Amino acid sequence: MPDLSFRTSELRSGSSDVLGLQSRCASIASDAVGALVGMADAAGHPAVQAALTGAGEHGDTAYSTADEVYQQISDGLSGSADIYDGAESTIIMRTKGVAGR
């Protein structure tokens, strides 16, 4: 028979892990976009400068979207832990009420 139990602490830990990944992604994104902007400024050729600036803008948009996704996942894991904790508390309270009759 499979073990269907789990610990909500694992969900909360996963939420923290995702926030850590979010932070790392933001750091990498900042460096990457900064490098593209720096190259665009140094290019000296209008077409190359425009291409690098556009790439930087697209990168910024992509990383902003990824940031939102990381936040949604983290919130979902944490919210799921809250729901399971609440359900467990309700079951325990109702079980005690039945046992006391």
Model confidence pLDDT, tens digit, residues 12-52: 899 999 999 999 998 998 898 888 888 888 888 889 888 88
**pLDDT (0 to 100) of residue 96:** 80
Q: How far apart are CA 67 and CA 22, in angstroms?
A: 6
Question: Residue 4 domain-assigned?
Answer: no
Tally of structural domains, the chain: 1
Q: Which two tokens stand for residue 64?
A: 């902003």
Q: Which of 57, 76, 61, 74 is nearest to 23 (CA)?
A: 74
Average pLDDT, the chain: 87
This prediction has a pTM of 0.73
Q: How far apart are CA 27 and CA 40, in angstroms?
A: 20
**pLDDT (0 to 100) of residue 45:** 87
Question: Residue 2 domain-assigned?
Answer: no
Q: What is the mean pLDDT of residues 58-78?
A: 92
Range of the domain at 85: 13-99
